[in-house]
Amino acid sequence: MTDNSRSSRQTVDPFLREIGARVREQRTLRRLSRRVLSERSGVSQRFIAELEGGRGNISIVRLKAIADALPMPLDQLVRPVPTIEPPPPRPPLDLSDGALANVLRSVPPHEQREMMEVLIAAMATEPR
């Protein structure tokens, strides 16, 4: 084996690393050993270890066998996990005189009634 082939085998593709991490995560969540996953999927333990390390360039057929053995949809192993953006910070609460009336005036009439009911209910249940 030449140094070039050895270094290309050690290169870890970010996409394969993500897939391998998802396989490992799902396998451990289900408390499955690599041996059990191997038996259920027909994919060797060694290859599963390489895949989980981001080094196994897996075919879609083998990945489908692993997904079926977990059991989970194949797309959950392949699709990137969406990141949820935090909501923008709220503006500071205006506690000046008339602020509540301004808020109520800024919403449609049908929502004003709901807001008033919520406020009245909250004031009735909270000790003063």
Instruction: State whether CATH 1.10.260.40 applies to domain 3-78.
Output: yes
Contact criterion met (CB below 8 Å) for 48 and 23? yes
The per-residue pLDDT for 127 is: 62
The per-residue pLDDT for 13 is: 86
Cα–Cα dist 121/116, whole Å: 8
Domain ranges of the chain: 3-78, 93-128
- The DSSP code for 12 is -
Is a pLDDT exceeding 80 seen at residue 36?
Answer: yes
Mind giving me the DSSP string for 100-117?
A: HHHHHHTS-HHHHHHHHH
Is a pLDDT exceeding 60 seen at residue 9?
Answer: no
Is a pLDDT exceeding 60 seen at residue 10?
Answer: no
